[in-house]
Copies of this chain bind each other. A is one copy, B any other.
C-alpha cells in the first residue's frame, strides 16, 4: 500500500462542489464541513488505495472526503440505516445519487441497511478501515453501539472514530456543549426520537463500548473545529427555538424534570447571550483510532 500523503485543506472547495448546492450560501457551508473532515482523514492517515467501510454515512458529507482520500484505486462502502427520504431540503437518497453521478461517484457504493445486518449478510468482505464519523449520537444507546463494534471486530484492520468531545477549548463553543446535554436530556425521554442526538455518548462511553467489542485504543487526539463548521450554531439554535419548548411540553409530564429541562435550555440561551453576537462555534472533536 502506498505511503500516506495528507489531503490538502485546499481540496475542501473541490470536494464541497460534489454536493448538491441548492442555494448560493450552501457552498461555504459544505466547504466548512469538508475542511473539518479532511482534518479527520489526515489524522486517521487513510492511505490512497484503501478500502473503507463507512458506518452512518448519511448524506455522504464524510463519504465524499473519504472517496477523495482513497483515490481512484480505493473504494468506500457507505452504509446507513436511515430512510431514503430522511433529510430536508435534500433527502439522503437525493444527496447520495448526486455524489454517485459526480467525479468520485465510482469510488462509492451505497447500502441502505442496518450495519450489523449488512456485516452478517456479507461475511467474506473485509476492509482496511471502518469509519464512524459523527454518527454515534444517532445510535439509540451504548448497547447498539457495542453490538456493532463487536460485529466489526475482525472485519477491518483499523476502527476510526470521530465524535464531539463534550469539551469547548473555544469559549464560543460552550453553548454547543450545553445544547448537546440539554437536547440529549430531552431526547432520552422520547423513545421515538428522530433528532440528531438520540443518545449522548461521550468519548469515555465510546471507548468503553469499543473495549467490550474487542478493540484496543491506538491513538486519540482533540480537534478544534474552525469557525466554518456550523454544527454548534445549529444545535444551540434548535435548543433556543420554540420547538424545543413544545417538545418539552409534548414528551415530559414530570414537573421537576420539565423545569430542569427549561433551565438547561435557559443556560444555553444565557451562554449564547454572553457571546455578544459572536456566532456559536462547534465544540471540540475527539478523533481516535482503534486496532
Distance of A167 from chain B, by nearest CB (Å): 4
Check if A101 is an interface residue, CB within 8 A of chain B.
no
Check if A267 is an interface residue, CB within 8 A of chain B.
yes
Chain B residue at minimal CB-CB distance from A186: B260
A174: contacting residue among B143, B174, B203, CB under 8 A: B174
Distance of A209 from chain B, by nearest CB (Å): 10
Total identical chains: 2
Check if A192 is an interface residue, CB within 8 A of chain B.
no
Q: CB distance B259 to A142 under 8 Å? A: yes
A sample of 24 inter-chain contacts (CB < 8 A) reads: A141-B259, A142-B255, A143-B255, A166-B266, A167-B267, A167-B270, A167-B274, A168-B271, A177-B271, A178-B178, A181-B182, A181-B185, A181-B267, A185-B185, A185-B260, A188-B260, A198-B256, A200-B259, A200-B260, A201-B259, A202-B267, A203-B266, A205-B262, A205-B266
A31-B126 Cα distance, complex, nearest whole Å: 66
Check if A204 is an interface residue, CB within 8 A of chain B.
yes
Interface size of A by CB at 8 A reads 43
Which residues from chain A sit less than 8 Å from chain B, CB to CB? 140-143, 165-169, 171, 174, 177-178, 181-182, 184-185, 187-189, 198-205, 254-257, 259-260, 262-264, 266-267, 270-271, 273-274
